[in-house]
Amino acid sequence: MVLTKRSWHLPLICQICGDKARGMNFEVMTCMSCKAFFRRHALQPIYFLQCQHGNNCEITQLTRGNCSACRLRKCFSFGMNPKLIRYKSKNHHHHHHRLLKNKNQRLPKPPPLNLLENDSSTLTNIEWNLLSNITHVYDRENPIEHAKYMLEHQASLPPKLRSKAKSTLDIVEYYYSTIQSFLERVPYFHDLSIDARRALIQHNSFTLGTYNSLLLIRETNAFDYSSYKFGCQNLYGYENCLMTKKFITALEQNRTLVKIMLLITAFSENCSIVSLDYSQSMTTMASTISLFHTQNILVSMLWKYLNYQYGFLGAAKCFHSFIQYVLNLIRWTARNPSTQHSDMVDTLIENTTRSLTMHD
């Protein structure tokens, strides 16, 4: 199903309690109250909170204060990410330490404005909306759950089938195909002309698919499954698996950011500096202009979001490392470690091109 322009601009509502939302917090669109609640409770041991009513309390704006156990469970089930709290509390600790050290010398400077605390962002409502929709559109088919299911299925196969290259390649193919359904649901994509769509798919799919694979491998702990691990070593070689692990370690922790970056990469004009086929370039000025327009919307939104999360310097650092990361990824994927893999991706790109350029 394709989102219409109308459903793309839903009102901003807290996913946990239904109150008026104030932006993406820990990767989910929430109100200030649920944001503060999650920060306070998410890192506590789980037995700290207990439900008095059988673990199925309804959480609304009025009832959210009644049962912390159910509220916290709901936060986790909607994908609020506790890793992002650690990021903040580490800074907090550091700051505290500095205050103690300075105690005997002179009065410490007032603490810097904490941008995570500060809800006055420069993002417009439309931009918050866009941000929330990008993550929902990505999650719509639960790619992480599905990938986990495939890994478990592979592990349950008899040894002979399990160790066939095909069984690992099927999973990798799924990583790449999620990108197609993601793009299909983004209205901006359908605003582009057919030749622009074709050029984007042809130029960016390899990098995008690899980028998405890294996210899914990390989120499913795929290398913990020995069938998958050995399958990858057979397909791509040991060195490439090591390299994959390095890329995963360096991958941005904030899944919302990874999803935005996937989309920005998808709308970039060319992510295949090596195997560029110029016959697939955009042919008309109008295509180029409408692509610039989308790029502009996405990048301004990313920049404001980074500013909101990390402050100006943090945002600059994050942006810089994103570009660096994608460039390294492009260089790495150009080395073409396996013919089976590139044949699989080529077929997928052909199919994607056909289905995304035929009709609206």
**Rounded least distance, CB 73 to Zn ion, Å:** 8
Of 16 and 291, nearer to Zn ion (C-beta) is 16
**Rounded least distance, CB 67 to Zn ion, Å:** 3
What CA–CA distance (Å, rounded) separates 175 from 143? Answer: 8
**In this structure, is the dihedral angle defined by the CA atoms of residues 301, 304, 309 and 314, taken in order, positive or negative?**
positive
Of 70 and 171, nearer to Zn ion (C-beta) is 70
**Rounded least distance, CB 56 to Zn ion, Å:** 7
What CA–CA distance (Å, rounded) separates 201 from 280? Answer: 10
Q: Which residues contact 33 (CB under 8 A, 6 or more apart)?
A: 17, 19, 64
Q: End-to-end alpha-carbon separation of the chain, Å? A: 11
**Rounded least distance, CB 26 to Zn ion, Å:** 12
**Rounded least distance, CB 128 to Zn ion, Å:** 15
**Rounded least distance, CB 258 to Zn ion, Å:** 24
What CA–CA distance (Å, rounded) separates 89 from 87? Answer: 6
Tokens of 343: 């044949």
Of 21 and 301, nearer to Zn ion (C-beta) is 21
Q: Which residues bind Zn ion (CB under 5 A)?
A: 14, 16-17, 19, 31, 34, 51, 57, 67, 70
How far, in Å, are 69, 216, 315, 333, 357 from residue 202 at the CA level?
A: 48, 22, 30, 14, 12
Of 31 and 115, nearer to Zn ion (C-beta) is 31
Of 59 and 115, nearer to Zn ion (C-beta) is 59
CB 146 within 8 A of CB 216: no
Return the closest-CA partner of residue 235 out of 352, 348, 345, 347. Answer: 345
Of 37 and 225, nearer to Zn ion (C-beta) is 37
3-state secondary structure of 33: helix
Of 63 and 351, nearer to Zn ion (C-beta) is 63
**Rounded least distance, CB 61 to Zn ion, Å:** 7
**Rounded least distance, CB 121 to Zn ion, Å:** 17
What CA–CA distance (Å, rounded) separates 184 from 297? Answer: 18
**In this structure, is the dihedral angle defined by the CA atoms of residues 66, 67, 70 and 74, taken in order, positive or negative?**
positive
Dmax (CA) for the chain in angstroms is 72
Of 135 and 205, nearer to Zn ion (C-beta) is 135
Of 63 and 284, nearer to Zn ion (C-beta) is 63
What CA–CA distance (Å, rounded) separates 349 from 327? Answer: 21
- Radius of gyration of the chain measured on its C-alpha atoms: 22
3-state secondary structure of 55: coil
**Rounded least distance, CB 278 to Zn ion, Å:** 51
Identify the bridge partners of residue 20 per DSSP, sorted by sequence position. 13
